[in-house]
Amino acid sequence: MTDKAQYVPPKVWTWNKESGGAFAHINRPIAGATHERALPVGRHPFQLYSIASPNGVKVTVLLEELLALGHQGAEYDAWPVRIGEGEQFGSDFVQINPNSKIPALLDRSGPESVRLFESGAILLHLAEKFGEFIPQAHRAECLSWLFWQMASTPFMGGGFGHFYAYAPVKIEYAIDRFAMETKRQLDVLNRQLADREYILGESYSLADVAIWPWYGTVVLGQAYDAGEFLAVAECKNLRRWAEAIAERPAVIRGRKVNLMTGDLADQLHERHDASDFLTKTQDKLQPIG
Ligand SMILES: N[C@@H](CCC(=O)N[C@@H](CS)C(=O)NCC(=O)O)C(=O)O
């Protein structure tokens, strides 16, 4: 290891400067709204406020999968939240998610609106509401993998991704620590998929919906530009699974919703109708429903 420890922490930490990382301008050590901001509301039972980050994509993929199964009650309006501009600290957004992070969902299908935050809770709520993607015979296993993803990914995203791709300095100790853990997590999945088509076995489930946007994109070399560094090609089972899921029409659609970066042809900033995929992106998919 080459880095020398130079920083001696003071007795009490104070917020006196930006950290310098890629998202430093939106990081702050206090919660709550910074400004008044109303959120738009559309006509559908579900109002999603999000972006097409892995945590956001989990939800749009599930909604698109539910619609593909014919659940018209899963129709949704998806509104972008520009987190780089601090919209997650607007008053209406904070009313839905006091933690100021996307995704946030308003379920207006019942007599009272229900607010939801934390992508895992949103997935569980939707899957239970429509009775899909949690096979009763494997319910405990499915929840175990869902909670595994929610608990494990911050080590990869906030740990490895941050220090490898976003931090203003490359710190060998931090990159080693989180690369080690990320490799271990990839191996957990690679072994699980050695003799199973999907995480739970033969059928695609909520576990796959939750895990794919993070670990699927990493193993396909689409995250942090780290495919070579992490030698993801070694994870052959995981790659086979990731490639198969990437081709699902609902996954292709879900990844476009609230996408604000990359190829313009793929960006669907707002989604209000299945036909939006055809009229507002250059998607060649047939509209559903
Ligand atoms: N555990 C949360 C994490 C959500 C999260 O970290 N969202 C990020 C984008 S992927 C965000 O909104 N960041 C804005 C910020 O931290 O201010 C979940 O799964 O919903």
Tens-place pLDDT, residues 182-191: 999 999 999 9
Query: Element (H or E) spanning 80, and its range?
Result: strand 76-80
Percent of the chain whose pLDDT exceeds 70: 96
Q: How far is the CA of 195 from the centre of ligand 1 (A)?
A: 33
- Classify residue 128: in a domain, yes or no: no
Question: Residue 286 pLDDT > 90, yes or no?
Answer: no
Q: What pLDDT does 7 receive? A: 87
Query: What contacts 76, CB < 8 A, 6 or more positions away?
Result: 44, 45, 46, 47, 48, 63, 271
Q: Is 258 in the pocket of ligand 1 (CB under 6 A)?
A: no
Q: What pLDDT does 219 receive? A: 97
Q: What is the mean pLDDT of residues 14-26?
A: 80
Nearest Cα neighbor of 159 from 140, 133, 139, 179 is: 179
Q: How far is the CA of 55 from the centre of ligand 1 (A)?
A: 7
Q: How far is the CA of 101 from the centre of ligand 1 (A)?
A: 4
Query: What contacts 144, CB < 8 A, 6 or more positions away?
Result: none
- Classify residue 55: in a domain, yes or no: no
Q: At 238, which CATH number? A: 1.20.1050.10
- Classify residue 57: in a domain, yes or no: no
Q: How far is the CA of 18 from the centre of ligand 1 (A)?
A: 19
Q: How far is the CA of 252 from the centre of ligand 1 (A)?
A: 22
**167 is in which domain, residue-wise?**
136-249
Q: Is 152 in the pocket of ligand 1 (CB under 6 A)?
A: no
Q: Which of 61, 85, 102, 122 to mutate for ligand 1's pocket (most ligand atoms within 8 Å of CB)?
A: 102
Q: What is the mean pLDDT of the chain?
A: 94
Q: Is 22 in the pocket of ligand 1 (CB under 6 A)?
A: no
Q: What is the mean pLDDT of residues 33-56?
A: 98
Into how many domains does the chain fold? 1
Question: Residue 257 pLDDT > 90, yes or no?
Answer: yes
- Classify residue 38: in a domain, yes or no: no
Residue 118 Rama label (left phi>0; alpha psi -120 to 50; beta): left
Q: What pLDDT does 4 receive? A: 58
Percent of the chain whose pLDDT exceeds 90: 89
Please state which of the ranges 3-7, 60-64, 266-270 shows the lowest mean pLDDT.
Answer: 3-7
Question: Residue 282 pLDDT > 60, yes or no?
Answer: no
Question: Residue 287 pLDDT > 60, yes or no?
Answer: no
- Classify residue 107: in a domain, yes or no: no
Q: Is 118 in the pocket of ligand 1 (CB under 6 A)?
A: yes
Q: Is 60 in the pocket of ligand 1 (CB under 6 A)?
A: no
How confident is residue 18, by pLDDT bands cut at 50, 70 and 90?
confident
How far is the C-alpha of 68 from the C-alpha of 51, rounded, in Å?
21
pLDDT per position as a tens digit, 109-168: 999 999 999 999 999 999 999 999 999 999 999 999 999 999 999 999 999 999 999 999
pTM: 0.94
How confident is residue 5, by pLDDT bands cut at 50, 70 and 90?
low
Q: Is 83 in the pocket of ligand 1 (CB under 6 A)?
A: yes
Q: What is the mean pLDDT of residues 55-59?
A: 98
- Classify residue 193: in a domain, yes or no: yes
Question: Residue 106 pLDDT > 90, yes or no?
Answer: yes
- DSSP string for 262-289: S-GGG-BS-B-STTHHHHSS---SPPP-
How confident is residue 285, by pLDDT bands cut at 50, 70 and 90?
very low
pLDDT per position as a tens digit, 196-249: 999 999 999 999 999 999 999 999 999 999 999 999 999 999 999 999 999 999
Question: Residue 284 pLDDT > 50, yes or no?
Answer: no
